[in-house]
Structure 1
Amino acid sequence: MEDLTMNKHRTFHSELYDEMYKEASGDDTREDFWRKQAEKVHWDRFPETILDDSNAPFFKWYPDGMINICYNAIDRHVVEGRGDQDALIWDSAYTKSTKKFTFSEVQDRVSRLAKILVNTFEVTQGDRVLIYMPMIPEAAFAMLACARIGAIHSVVFGGFAAPELSNRIDDCKPKMIITASCGLEPNKIIRYTPIVDEALEISKLTDLRRLIVQRHDVVFETKLNKDLYLDYYELMAETETGIDCVPVPANQELYILYTSGTTGQPKGIVRDTGGTTVALNYIMDIVFNLQIGDTWFSGSDVGWVVGHSFIVYGPLIRGTTTIFYEGKPVMTPDPGAFWRIVEQYKPHSIYCAPTAIRIIKKCDYNGEYIKKYDTSSLKSILLVGERCDPDTINWLEDKFPDVLLNDTWWQTETGWPICSNYGNLHAFPTNPGSCTKVVPGYVVEILDDDNVPVDPPQLGKVSIKFPLPPSFMLTLWGNDEAFKEKYFSDSPGYYTTGDAGYFNDAGYLHIMTRVDDVINTAGHRLSTGRFEEVVNEHPHIVESACIGVWDTVRGEQPVALVIPATGAEFNPEDLKKEIIAKVRKDIGAFARLGGVLIVTRLPKTRSGKILRGTIKSIANKKHFKVPATIEDETVLKEIEDALATLAG
């Protein structure tokens, strides 16, 4: 069994978890459990039917209920006397601006914006509204205003290029677009209106009307068609009163969120309203241990599912103050950006990608910036986006010995964590490299290639058994057949996550890599995650990506691309030899690396996932499409040049 370590001053009571897991995931108790969870949110008509599983995989939770998620996120707290509590804190590291909005103030802005959508833009229930916005408060107001009237919002990450924006427009066919004059990046301004105009030209929808938030302190657009671009602040000033929330069926689509993963065309993942309200209230409690009046910081963006679930809807439903951050973990202005946020606003927890922590670690390995700020409010640091390597967990544990470290695993498709530690059930011992235990409500099994469950600790396909819990995606927008084919055809009766992993003897789940990234070398199936955790343990390495390169003898030859720590002193050839020797010693002679390539960056999505498939295609000289989600396409040239040296 692997070593389990424990943060100081924390207790461990597995019986609380065991009892809840049995109730939430058991065939005879599941519906009663989710009925009790539904009672914790506000319904306009409480459902009599809890689960309709008659048409799997199209599971319907609370199908005869009526609800409004905006009411649960905003109005309910005002009605219950919490109108003066801060609901949202906006902090822009770029403009050095800070604004706070109480629940009453958010209710006022959202209800008036909803009225504008109805009266000026003629948006009705079921219409789609595309939101192309930076991390400014109006982005959250726009999402909530759509939900208030039963419109379906589709948030597109601000800064996506026009062709990708056009793809999403063509697919969801929005009634209108809400945008801003610009978004900000370190030392760069991205003007949004030319991108929107070009996307609509491509889509042949040049007459589609747009509501624009003019960022007067950064970029003020003066040459806009006033019939097409209506000014947000002007209309808000003219609208003195708002409108009430509209009850909608629980299975009414709440939003469409497009994801292309690391390859392929965008897929419009559809999430429901009722199940999402219930599931987010539940998970904010048992995993994140957030209660009314707490403050919460998620360092993500509303363009991703983390932003939907855990910047906007989840915290607000829970009655928590959410921090809306426009900035980066470094360069805005330094590696102390997150710790400054903690000192200034006293959040209970941080939720961010492992990439963010690795970047901070790379720039501030000794934690000098951490020492500059008071971080005593932190009870937990939670990680999301991709597997966190053990070395990064160990670094965090050294710097935050009294804080619960929680590596959560989930997907855009699921909407909330599949596997996690538990802030409100007493924490499990930490197992670096593992996302701990399956969240009550899911049944996760490891399957072999013949779809037969395997025993620990065998590596296999991580699969979720039917029925799927509340807030799991309803379908792919306009494409039920693709939904069934992509996610359910491989393993009947299961949702195919696409990840490979294993359970250890203690029941801890380890997500090691995507199924397609398993390296088959000399008859052995090895995960890229295992290679990377060994490589990252080297004191000079802060991050790595391992791939399989075709080899006529061994099938695939593992190759590691490594990023050294800033300021590390080493001889490149000696470093390569040390890493090769370490992999051989820690994994085995059969796992010998075919090369170690030193690089300064790795290609990643904007949400922090390493694009291993793209790297592998470059290495094996296969055609590939540059993913629309790539953070910086220029890095591919460095990777291509580094991989070219393998031939020599």
Structure 2
Amino acid sequence: MLACARLGAIHSVVFGGFASAELAKRIEDCQPMVVLASSCGIEGMTKVIAYKPLLDKALEMCVHKPRKVVLLQRPQLLATLAPSEETWQDAVEGIAEDRVFHGYETVDANDPLYILYTSGTTGMPKGVVRPSGGHAVVLHYTINSMYACRPGQVYWAASDLGWILGHSYICYGPLLNGSTSVLYEGKVVGTPDPSAYYRVMAQHKVTTFFTAPTALMMLRQEDLHGEFRNQYDLSHVKAMFIAGERCPPEIHRWWVRHVTGVDDTGKALHPIQSPVTNVISDNWWQTETGSPLTGIEVGLSEDGAQLPPVKYGSAGLPVQGVDLRILRIRDEEEEDEDVAAVVCPPEEVARGVVGNVVVKLPLPPGVMSTLWNDEQRFFDEYFKRFPGYYDTGDTGVIDADGYVHILSRADDVINVAAHRLSTSAIEEVVAEHNEIAESCVVARPHPIKGSVPVVVAVCKNHGRDRSEEQIREDLVAAVRARVGAFASLYKENIVFVERLPKTRSSKVLRKMIRSMIAALISKSASSELIPLPATIEDPSVKDEIWAALSAWAMSNL
């Protein structure tokens, strides 16, 4: 990545979990001159994934052929190379000293630094193009102001370089700031045990730590009472940040209690103490933006009294330069082409009302400049629906105190008897049950109410105090009390599974579950009709979920 930037070349990093067909789409779209790969990936303590066969099959599917394929041979699994290919080791050793590039290429600030692909609603990935100059400016600013990491200190984003977090805050952000960046290959648990996060933070004296809510849920499942956490001193950690998807307040409170010992049970706010240390805050951003849109800018002061408190359930406050608004969600009948042709100015909603999260133009520095080779799609996907605004594709609310609450993707809003309900509102309640490790909520059609929620839940590993039927009764009662009876959660729509389908960056694949339920409702008999998501971490979980939902459907559909 750094060498490409120095050369003025554009890089496009793809994480190792993609199937050949998805890898081929990206190669065909960006048409690279060189493909760099490794022979394998390492999953946990025992699993090794062969990358070369995936790459070979992808290249066979492509019309475009790169000039060169260079492969890093990892000792865990050596790959067989074609005559036209070479190993990284041979390529480096074969470079004569006088051919080594010593200078750097000057480029314009708006020239592309990289292309990073993100999922598209049409099934074709979107190649987000990042301008180099603005990106450098905003990363240098946020690594200090938001993440409170100074030059010489240590920053650890527990992510993959193939995702935006890895680009912004493993590679470029810390190095622009003169900070040490930790690169970690391993899982939250199982490498070799649930102490991995704590051990790395303690061993490398990490100042700022960044992870995803799902990772915290995994830790809560495996280390509920701090058996592994308590082995390490984390007092040197100034701030910890959560992002990737919405963090349920109960998970956030547990992590605060787990790390700091402060019990905020039942509290909405967590004041930041002086001196500023062990602050644990949510923040929100996207591949398209490249840096946070909201959060608590912990690095702006060493005096906790000068900083706004952390509010559980929120993603913080808008960052400087981000004019964030909430617009009214249009009804389905307003979205058809005939009505869309009528000029309908975006309508801002009052505070406390759920709507579409948008950013009023102009956008802050570092946001994507276009989609690679698809300017029309760039406009259609992000700017057409709400003229004058960038459409984030998320739903949320700004509360009376100005805090932003990101609830779900726009397609994760359930319409129950004319009531718009974000799936995260129910997930938040479910997460508070003592027996539940994690869950996701999707919709199923209902003949009278339009749709009703289905809860797909994973129980904790400890011995259960209540039966599954009792847990169902508890959850129904809790949702009625906390969300309202209109949410229409019924016992028969609570399904227990061993694990949820996730991406390698730990996001739950809700769309796959929605597709399975739709297929079962339409009496489709085979899971083969459900496409395997390109980003799925473990393909075998698809069959597990299909079996559980099929058993549920036989009794309830």
485-494 or 627-636, larger mean C-alpha shift: 627-636
Instruction: Give the letter aligned to residue 55 of structure 2.
Output: V
- Please tell me whether the aligned partners of residues 324 and 357 of structure 2 are also in contact (alpha carbons under 8 angstroms): yes
Aligned residue for 2:411, secondary structure, equals helix
Return the alpha-carbon distance in structure 1 between the equivalents of residues 136 and 93 of structure 2.
28
- Aligned partners of 1:262 and 1:629 also within 8 Å: no
2:7 to 132, 143, 149: 149
Q: Secondary structure in 1 aligned to 2:298? A: coil
- Is 1:522 the equivalent of 2:417? yes
Q: What residue identity is the alignment partner of 1:529?
A: S
Deviation at residue 350 of structure 1 after TM alignment: 1.1
Moved more, 322-331 or 152-161: 152-161
Mapped partners of 1:249, 1:295: distance in 2: 30
- CA RMSD of the aligned region, Å? 1.7
Give 1:278-317 correspondences, 5 Å limit. 278-317=137-176
Paired position in structure 1 for 2:27: 169
Single out whichever of 304-313 and 630-639 deviates more from structure 2. Answer: 630-639
SS of the residue aligned with 1:275?
Answer: helix
Give the drift of 1:261.
Answer: 5.6
Q: Larger relative CO (CA 8 A, sep 6+): 1 or 2?
A: 1
Structure 1 Cα separation of the partners of residues 393 and 63 of structure 2: 36
Please list the CA deviations of residues 274-324 of structure 1 after superposition, one character each: whole Å capped at 9, or x if unmatched: 011111101111100111100011110111010000100001001000001
CA drift at 1:330:
0.6
Query: In the alignment, is the contact (CA less than 8 A) between 1:264 and 1:625 conserved in 2?
Result: no
Q: CA distance change for structure 1 residues 410 and 236 in 2, over 3 Å: closer, same or farther?
A: farther
Q: Identify if the C-alpha distance between structure 1 residues 252 and 471 changes in structure 2 by more than 3 Å, giving closer, same or farther.
A: same
Matches within 5 A, 1:296-375: 296-375=155-234
Find 2:456's aligned residue among 561, 577, 580. 561
Counterpart in the other structure of 1:416: 291
- Once residues 179 and 240 of structure 2 are traced to their aligned partners in structure 1, the CA distance between those partners, rounded to angstroms, is 17
- Contact 1:260 1:628 survives alignment (8 Å): no
Q: Is 1:620 aligned with 2:518?
A: yes
Q: Does 1:587 align with 2:467?
A: no
1:597 and 1:207, CA in 2 relative to 1: closer, same or farther beyond 3 A? closer
Alpha-carbon distance, 1:642 to partner: 2.6
- Tell me, in whole angstroms, the C-alpha distance in 2 between the residues paired with 1:624 and 1:480: 31
Unaligned ranges ≥5, structure 2: 261-276, 302-306, 331-345, 523-528
Q: CA deviation at 1:236?
A: 4.4
Aligned: 1:571 with 2:467: yes
SS in 1 for 2:11: strand
Q: Would you say the 8 A contact 2:235–2:278 is kept in 1? A: no
* Cα distance between partner residues in 2 of 1:316 and 1:239: 28
Residue in structure 1 matched with residue 500 of structure 2 by the alignment: 602
Residue number in structure 1 paired with 2:548: 642
Structure 1: unaligned runs, 5 residues or longer? 1-142
In structure 1, what is the equivalent of residue 388 of structure 2? 493
- Give the Cα separation in 1 of the matches to 2:376 and 2:470: 53
How far apart are the structure 1 equivalents of 2:367 and 2:530? 30
**Does the Cα contact within 8 Å between 2:442 and 2:513 map onto a contact in 1?**
yes
Counterpart-to-counterpart distance in 2, 1:328 and 1:612 = 21
* Structure 2 counterparts to residues 223-302 of structure 1, below 5 A: 223-232=80-89, 234-236=91-93, 238-240=95-97, 241-260=100-119, 264-302=123-161
Q: Is the 8 A contact 1:264 1:627 kept in 2?
A: no
* CA–CA separation in structure 1 for the residues paired with 2:107 and 2:22: 31
Deviations along 1:187-231, one digit per CA (max 9) or x if unpaired, are 21112222222211111456631122222x32233x323432243
Matched, 1:430 2:319: no
- Whole-Å separation in 2 of the counterparts to 1:233 and 1:357: 42
Match in the other structure for 1:36: none
Q: How far off is 1:234 after superposition?
A: 4.9
Q: Match for 1:229: what amino acid?
A: E
Distance in 2 between residues matched to 1:399 and 1:200, nearest whole Å: 47
| Structure 1 position 445 matched with structure 2 position 340 | no
- Give the C-alpha shift of residue 492 in structure 1: 0.5
Tell me what 2:72 maps to. Answer: 213
Number of aligned residues: 504
1:529 offset after TM fit, Å?
0.8
Equivalences for residues 173-212 of structure 1 within 5 A: 173-186=31-44, 187-205=46-64, 208-212=67-71
* 1:453-475 deviation per Cα after TM superposition (whole angstroms, max 9, x unaligned): 01110000001110011111111
CA offset digits 1:387-409 (Å, max 9, x no partner)? 11111101011122351111111
Which of 533, 536, 543 is matched with 1:630 structurally?
536
CA contact (8 A) 1:287 1:421 kept: yes
Cα deviation per residue 1:469-516 (whole Å; 9 max; x = unaligned)? 111111110000011011111111111111111011110000111111
Partner of 1:481: 376
Q: Distance in 1 between matches of 2:381 and 2:63?
A: 30
CA distance in structure 1 between the aligned counterparts of 2:56 and 2:422, rounded to whole angstroms: 44
Write the letter of the residue equivalent to 2:184.
Y
Question: Per-residue deviation at 1:377?
Answer: 1.6
- The equivalent residue for 2:339 is none
Give me the TM-score of the superposition, normalised by structure 1. 0.75
Q: Distance in 2 between matches of 1:554 and 1:589?
A: 13
The structural deviation recorded for 1:431 is: 1.1
Letter in 2 for 1:414: T
Provide the C-alpha distance between the structure 1 equivalents of 2:354 and 2:64, rounded to a whole number of angstroms.
Answer: 49
CA distance in 1 between partners of 2:513 and 2:140 (Å): 39
Question: Shift of the alpha carbon at 1:239?
Answer: 4.3
How far apart are the structure 2 equivalents of 1:275 and 1:442? 14
Q: Secondary structure at the match of 1:497?
A: strand
Measured in 2, the distance between the counterparts of 1:234 and 1:443 equals 48
Question: Is this contact kept in 1: 2:31–2:64, CA < 8 A?
Answer: no
Amino acid at match of 1:351: F
- Once the two structures are TM-superposed, the CA of residue 627 in structure 1 deviates from its matched residue by 2.2
Letter in 2 for 1:211: V
Partner of 2:268: none
> Does the 8 Å CA contact 1:262/1:613 hold for their aligned counterparts?
no
Distance 1:347 1:239 in 2: 39
Cα distance in structure 1, aligned partners of 2:135 and 2:298: 21
Instruction: Give the deviation of 1:530 after TM superposition.
Output: 0.6
Tell me the TM-score normalized by structure 2: 0.87
On the 8 A contact 1:389/1:533 being kept in 2, the answer is yes
Percent of aligned pairs sharing the same letter? 42
